[in-house]
Structure 1
Amino acid sequence: MFDAIFQILRDSKSLELAMASYQLLSELEQRYPRIYLTCSDKPESTSGRAGELVVVKEAWSPFIVGSEASHTEAEAAGKDLDHLFDSLRFSVLVEDMALAVKRTDFQLVIKPVECMLLFQYLVNVLEADFLPRQTLYKETSNWVLFRESILNILLGSRKLNFKSLVRDCMSIMCRRCHHHIEKNFQDLRYVKDSRDKEAHNSNVSLAIALSELEKGTCVAVQELMTLIMELDLIRKEADLQGFTTRVDGFRWVPMLEIIVDELTYNKDYISPFLMVFSEPKWKLEIILQYFSKYTTKSSVRTRRSNETSNDATLEAILSFFSTATSTKNIVKKISSEVAKLLLVHAFQACLSLQHCSRHNAYSAERIGGTLSQISNKLVSAFQSLRKNDETCKMSKRNFGILWSINFDLIYKRSQILAEVVSFLLVHG
């Protein structure tokens, strides 16, 4: 049943058929999971275990994750695998989707819709396979759980150009094509010729549907990037402990480093990417690593060294703006405008993390101070930046970010936070 519905989704000839097959697959995924955690027989307080991981080996999957030999045997047995996804086909799908978000021609809308729905479904499958393993890993620290995950197998394949995959994901996030579609929708509101009314109504429907699909696709891209960065972090922990081997694949450059490099070499990406990427933990981590490239001295590290130059906290980064000399040095490298933009997004991520219980340990470690301390240092940082360049005013996009912060929440948290926002709005 899964296979037949999946082929319908891949070969959809209409928007209705594509949506119906996608929804049916999503419902079946929830009803018949391929992997899940069983409840522990003992109370969690005494056993310390979340349960056992159950993987249904016979369950159908849209991914081809076995060895090349097993693929050959399956094809020899008459099984058609052309409609399933391996690493290469998955990367091609993301590439096609990156190209599709540029289009506004409604005559070509079915293919982009198919790509986006396929991608959202595949990300849901990857997430459903990843999260139970992550839950159990927190209890056991067993790297084998992730060695056998679909995501790790896909990313470890030599067929995959990982850097291209990351760039395509960032391109999709930055373009935010739904804004173009919304503009097209506004343009389609007026029809000069009544004979075109039927075609006009069809185009409006497609515009609305495509806009929502693209928003959902941006969310799915963020989820994929978050899963990969979480996997990179877990793999790094396993590597430091000597648990990884050649069996785990050859890819080593973490996604986080590639993202930071792309933002470094293409500063026009910084604002749109951080505006769309909303996951607070990794948003803050991206900003911290970006600043670390310019505020810490490079060091020689081995593959399994415990030393890292990327352990700066938000409090430490803000401290670099405490003096005129250090502020001037940073601004020379990244500009005052970029520094302000990054600090505002970092502060926004900091506020979000305060209300995310699952990131409590991370918040304390990476923020490096109380909310009041961070607020005071943020005010000081903007004062230093303003003194460094009196003519530099906060751009309209920074105002937009600040207005998105929940002011009621800020005033409830502390009077200092209100002073921070007031300062930023008045003095820029």
Structure 2
Amino acid sequence: MDDPRTNSQRLEGNTLAILDSSGIREARDIHDDRLSFLEAVRAVSLASISASPPTWKMFDAILHILRDGLSLELAVASFQLLTDLDKRYPRVYVRESDNLGTNSGGAGELVVNKEAWSPFTVRSGNSHSEASGICRDSKSLLDSASFSFLVEEIAIGRHSAIKTVQNMLLFQYLVRALEADYLPRHTLYKETLNWVFLRESVLSLLVASRKMNYKSLVHNCMSVVSTRFFHEANICHKDLKDKESISGDLPQSCNVGLPFAFPEIQRKACDAVQKLLILIMELDVIRKEAEALGLTSRSDGFRATILDTILDELTYNKDQLSPFLEVFEEPKWKLEIILLYFGKYYSRPSTRTRRSNSSPNDETFQGILNCFSNPTTTGGILRKMATEVACLLLAQAFMVTIKYI
């Protein structure tokens, strides 16, 4: 029987040989070799009857092509391949335990493949790559600092259209990877109240890292959301006229679909930013719950909640308030942001009747409406908050409650 490790090494050698550019000077030839490599990996790892996951070096090469492929065709192909590979070979999943009975409560078992490749160098305590003897020195992998810098590059938009597309596709892939790692852990936490599941999530480790400029990350995420409609597609047409900003020697046919693809990729990148914000919001809620239950420790560190950080951004940059709320779509958290914003400018009653069939959000919003029904209270709020801001918040809150609640 063939040794699986030998087979993997042989597969790695054969596929990576396609990328050998020794003696090749034409950019188009290098471009075609990279496409052939991606197709070869798809064939052996997804389409084959005896498919096997790519090796770490093969994964690193795919990620490198996504980050530096210099064409729309390569960016989309590498992004889709990484996405499909993650679906086929999940790193984290919940497995139903063999000893579960009908009265066991339904808790499964968290399976973490410690040998699996990850686009992040951030790893939980028991899943360091050193344990498996594999060196994680690829320049394409991301830590907390490079992840934050990626979001900053997307927010500023200072690169060519192709590089911007690469960054947005890379970010979409990374958020999907974070979500795929987080959701199984979240499911088991709800069933077991074991905070360790989420403490060791890549998302938790990422935002808790000392390398992460957390406030800058949130600021840039909000900038991406707020400015989505201000630079929809102009960059595409400008850059397509400038061959140097695309790839130098590649023919224009490699990027012919860029003006049409850019708006959709930008929209999905904005959706991914919102997804990241929501994941951190949910993590904050669970962490607060874990703290109340005495499940956290000093080793978990401390940081401001993302809602507090968002609120500070909107308070000190009111020009961002309208575009952010216009684009941010998740109703539960959108309403929560509005309620917290109002909460800075009015005093809630010391006593409040709680109806069992009403949610806290509904009661609080009703309380705000009651405040505006009182001329004295309304005057007090409007002395602290501009009238147009109050009207904007009320309008957005009404739209959320009417449409979703």
Which TM-score tier does this pair reach, normalised by the shorter chain? Answer: 0.7 to 0.9
Separation (CA, whole Å) in 2 of partners of 1:35 and 1:68 = 15
Q: Deviations 1:129-155 (Å, cap 9, x if unpaired)?
A: 111111122212211111110000011
C-alpha deviation, 1:290, in angstroms: 0.4
Task: Tell me: CA distance 1:312–1:87, structure 2 relative to 1, closer, same or farther (3 Å).
Answer: farther
Separation (CA, whole Å) in 2 of partners of 1:72 and 1:184 = 40
Segments of structure 2 that go 5 or more residues without pairing to the other structure are 1-53, 240-250, 351-360
1:222 equivalent among 274, 285, 304: 274
The alignment status of 1:286 with 2:341, answered yes or no, reads no
Match of 1:147 in 2: 199
Separation (CA, whole Å) in 1 of partners of 2:254 and 2:294 = 58
Match of 1:48 in 2: 105
Match of 2:111, SS? strand
C-alpha deviation, 1:127, in angstroms: 0.5
The alignment status of 1:61 with 2:118, answered yes or no, reads yes
Task: Tell me: CA distance 1:42–1:165, structure 2 relative to 1, closer, same or farther (3 Å).
Answer: same
Task: Tell me: CA distance 1:268–1:201, structure 2 relative to 1, closer, same or farther (3 Å).
Answer: farther
Q: Say which is worse superposed, 343-352 or 35-44, in terms of deviation.
A: 35-44
Task: Tell me: CA distance 1:204–1:263, structure 2 relative to 1, closer, same or farther (3 Å).
Answer: farther
The alignment status of 1:36 with 2:36, answered yes or no, reads no
C-alpha deviation, 1:44, in angstroms: 8.7
C-alpha deviation, 1:89, in angstroms: 0.8
Whether contact under 8 Å (2:124, 2:205) holds in the other structure is no
Q: Deviations 1:264-302 (Å, cap 9, x if unpaired)?
A: 111111110001100111101101100111113799xxx
Match of 2:138, SS? coil
The alignment status of 1:240 with 2:292, answered yes or no, reads yes
Whether contact under 8 Å (1:185, 1:204) holds in the other structure is no
Match of 1:416 in 2: none
C-alpha deviation, 1:163, in angstroms: 0.4
Separation (CA, whole Å) in 1 of partners of 2:126 and 2:97 = 37
C-alpha deviation, 1:184, in angstroms: 6.8
Match of 1:320, SS? helix
Task: Tell me: CA distance 1:29–1:320, structure 2 relative to 1, closer, same or farther (3 Å).
Answer: same
Q: Say which is worse superposed, 128-137 or 45-54, in terms of deviation.
A: 45-54
Separation (CA, whole Å) in 2 of partners of 1:212 and 1:201 = 19
Match of 2:258, SS? helix
Match of 1:132, SS? helix
C-alpha deviation, 1:39, in angstroms: 3.3
Whether contact under 8 Å (2:236, 2:262) holds in the other structure is no
Task: Tell me: CA distance 1:241–1:312, structure 2 relative to 1, closer, same or farther (3 Å).
Answer: farther
Separation (CA, whole Å) in 2 of partners of 1:148 and 1:260 = 27
Task: Tell me: CA distance 1:351–1:163, structure 2 relative to 1, closer, same or farther (3 Å).
Answer: same
Aligned-partner residue type, residue 11 of structure 1? D
Q: Deviations 1:302-326 (Å, cap 9, x if unpaired)?
A: xxxxxxxx99721122221120010
Aligned-partner residue type, residue 195 of structure 2? W
Alignment of 1:170-249 (within 5 A): 170-177=222-229, 179-182=230-233, 205-249=257-301
C-alpha deviation, 1:12, in angstroms: 1.1
Whether contact under 8 Å (1:260, 1:289) holds in the other structure is yes
The alignment status of 1:125 with 2:177, answered yes or no, reads yes
Separation (CA, whole Å) in 2 of partners of 1:241 and 1:44 = 27
Whether contact under 8 Å (2:71, 2:254) holds in the other structure is no
C-alpha deviation, 1:204, in angstroms: 7.4
Match of 2:232, SS? helix
Task: Tell me: CA distance 1:320–1:202, structure 2 relative to 1, closer, same or farther (3 Å).
Answer: farther
Q: Deviations 1:228-248 (Å, cap 9, x if unpaired)?
A: 111111111111222211221
In angstroms, what is the RMSD of aligned CA positions?
3.3
The alignment status of 1:95 with 2:168, answered yes or no, reads no
Task: Tell me: CA distance 1:45–1:130, structure 2 relative to 1, closer, same or farther (3 Å).
Answer: same
Task: Tell me: CA distance 1:201–1:185, structure 2 relative to 1, closer, same or farther (3 Å).
Answer: farther
Whether contact under 8 Å (1:44, 1:50) holds in the other structure is no
Q: Higher relative contact order at CA 8 Å, sep ≥6: structure 1 or structure 2?
A: 2
The alignment status of 1:337 with 2:355, answered yes or no, reads no
Q: Deviations 1:323-369 (Å, cap 9, x if unpaired)?
A: 00101111121122111211121122223443xxxxxxxxxxxxxxx
Match of 2:117, SS? coil
C-alpha deviation, 1:42, in angstroms: 8.0
Whether contact under 8 Å (2:124, 2:202) holds in the other structure is no
Separation (CA, whole Å) in 2 of partners of 1:74 and 1:17 = 33
Separation (CA, whole Å) in 1 of partners of 2:93 and 2:403 = 29
Separation (CA, whole Å) in 1 of partners of 2:124 and 2:202 = 12
C-alpha deviation, 1:50, in angstroms: 4.5
The alignment status of 1:11 with 2:63, answered yes or no, reads no
Q: TM-score, normalised by structure 1?
A: 0.69
Identical-residue share of aligned pairs (%): 54
C-alpha deviation, 1:13, in angstroms: 1.7
Q: Say which is worse superposed, 90-99 or 2-11, in terms of deviation.
A: 2-11
The alignment status of 1:321 with 2:372, answered yes or no, reads yes
C-alpha deviation, 1:27, in angstroms: 0.8
Match of 2:139, SS? coil
| Equivalences, count | 328
1:86 equivalent among 143, 148, 155: 143
The alignment status of 1:277 with 2:328, answered yes or no, reads yes
C-alpha deviation, 1:70, in angstroms: 9.3
Q: TM-score, normalised by structure 2?
A: 0.73
